[in-house]
Structure 1
């Protein structure tokens, strides 16, 4: 092979034109098929010949014939157009069939209900392969900027990021205590009564911590963390160990509360209702698995899925 050979110069439009000329053996009929003028077809064939210093067609009398180079060119054009057609069909098929990877980032409290949603979703779309990353809020904000995920699940959508977000589930935050905890009064506990309690909290920047601090602040109370923990699971375990109280999602403690491993307190202002959001970067192309999962979140009864799972 000559390493210094010049490349063959031809455009996609010229390939289509020459393919039509090959099939019709006529500039006039090729022009009618392509909705072009006969001179336009003739000019484009001549440009292919001149740009590549070859002869593709010849006229004997008034009849068009392909030269040997033209015959080879005709075969190549057929192959290229068939490959483009196959590519187009494959791409369209991939855009309609719900299968392939689904990359989701979610903040840690979502792990207490999203797996049950995923199970129901995969029953419907078994060819989807989820790739789930569980991170704290601070990390998810950084990674979303790098377009690493198809979708993200979070309680607060950061306004500084350009995101399309849709609420799909109510997140009830509750105050939990060890099973041996004795409330200061009977009935509903005024929030001011908890001002001196030892509270386990998430790290600074956590959506749960922000929501709890806002509510306490409205009552003139500054929530002083006794201990900061990096996950909802660690917070829950600390409460069960008797280290203090905490504000956590109800979904995260439904099993423990059911079997009296901890208790949910009746506190003024609680449960604190927040929305869970499914979000994607603005203008991001939604692949079928991501679009199907977003639609599924909007229609599924998550509370029913959780109730069906609580058989332990």
Structure 2
């Protein structure tokens, strides 16, 4: 058996794309060249790795097993490269992080100093809804995820990095809510704009409502924090949002915080990762950096939260 790392790369890319043409494009190869590499790799085995039915590419069961082994080999070769760079004092490789949408107001400030310190690190940052973020983590597609509510079905390690404060906000044009020190009965009277089911913000809100025996009036359900902010600014309704996400809107006087008993609600932003995952040198270095620098990052970029809440 005499296959090459290049053949392994071509084979895994074809399997992941389920298409020789798409894989060739991703690898900056011609389609015939990719087909030749696949054939040369197939020639190493007496059992078919793939088959074409109609014009559709399929991977055989044997091919799926070889694909898994090929990925492990390619990952090991990357580790060799990263270890070599690290031995020379240069940290390199990919850092893959998935972040829930509101976490986009947090994560860049923890990445800033790390990436400046290690310029050869390549960042892959995906900002999505919580369902997608957890699926990426479960499939081991990322090193870390940033969430406020951890999934219970995964065996995880967690690193808390900072508090998340949720406040009730209304448009500056809203004249219905004007008095301070509202009790929780306010939520029985005002129409609320909610995040989608499954979001960390909604989860924290629902726990609060359940604890306080509140039956809120849900007016609108939106799937992003930005959409909620714009709806509140337009005076469609009020909402409970992360204080982190409305700094500019408060400064511009587009939104106002409405005091109410039990608010702000508090949760914790945390980096989570699979307990059995072997962290790459880059991922391990980032985890160590965040643990050491989280207080400095908060002081440098988020101390304005303390001023608002005084």
TM-score normalised according to structure 2 size: 0.67
Deviation at 1:214, TM superposition (A): 1.2
> Which residue is 2:116 aligned to?
123
> Which residue is 2:149 aligned to?
156
> Which residue is 1:216 aligned to?
209
SS at match of 2:206: helix
Q: 1:240 to 1:188 in 2, by over 3 A?
A: same
Name which of 185, 188, 198 aligns with 1:192. Answer: 185
> Which residue is 1:31 aligned to?
none
Does residue 1:274 correspond to 2:267, yes or no?
yes
CA distance in 2, matches of 1:309, 1:194: 27
Q: Which runs of 4+ in 1 moved over 6 A?
A: none
Q: 1:92 to 1:288 in 2, by over 3 A?
A: closer
> Which residue is 1:10 aligned to?
none
Deviation at 1:93, TM superposition (A): 2.7
CA distance in 2, matches of 1:214, 1:133: 28
> Which residue is 1:306 aligned to?
301
Q: 1:303 to 1:265 in 2, by over 3 A?
A: farther
- Mind listing any 5+ residue stretches in structure 2 that lack a counterpart? 3-77, 306-310
Mapping of residues 22-61 of structure 1, within 5 Å: none
Name which of 224, 240, 244 aligns with 1:231. Answer: 224
Q: 1:28-48 CA distances to partner (integer Å, 9 max, x unpaired)?
A: xxxxxxxxxxxxxxxxxxxxx
Q: 1:12-55 CA distances to partner (integer Å, 9 max, x unpaired)?
A: xxxxxxxxxxxxxxxxxxxxxxxxxxxxxxxxxxxxxxxxxxxx
> Which residue is 2:163 aligned to?
170
- Mind listing any 5+ residue stretches in structure 1 that lack a counterpart? 1-5, 8-86
> Which residue is 1:249 aligned to?
242
Q: 1:36-85 CA distances to partner (integer Å, 9 max, x unpaired)?
A: xxxxxxxxxxxxxxxxxxxxxxxxxxxxxxxxxxxxxxxxxxxxxxxxxx
CA distance in 1, matches of 2:265, 2:304: 24
Q: 1:273 to 1:185 in 2, by over 3 A?
A: same
- Contact in 1 for aligned 2:158/2:270 (Cα 8 Å): yes
> Which residue is 1:290 aligned to?
283
Name which of 206, 220, 225 aligns with 2:199. Answer: 206
Count matched residues.
Answer: 227
CA distance in 2, matches of 1:193, 1:179: 18
Q: State the superposition RMSD in angstroms.
A: 2.7
> Which residue is 1:72 aligned to?
none
Q: 1:275 to 1:309 in 2, by over 3 A?
A: closer
Q: 1:78-129 CA distances to partner (integer Å, 9 max, x unpaired)?
A: xxxxxxxxx9985643566422211000100000121222222212222211
Mapping of residues 110-149 of structure 1, within 5 Å: 110-149=103-142
> Which residue is 1:93 aligned to?
84
CA distance in 1, matches of 2:301, 2:84: 35
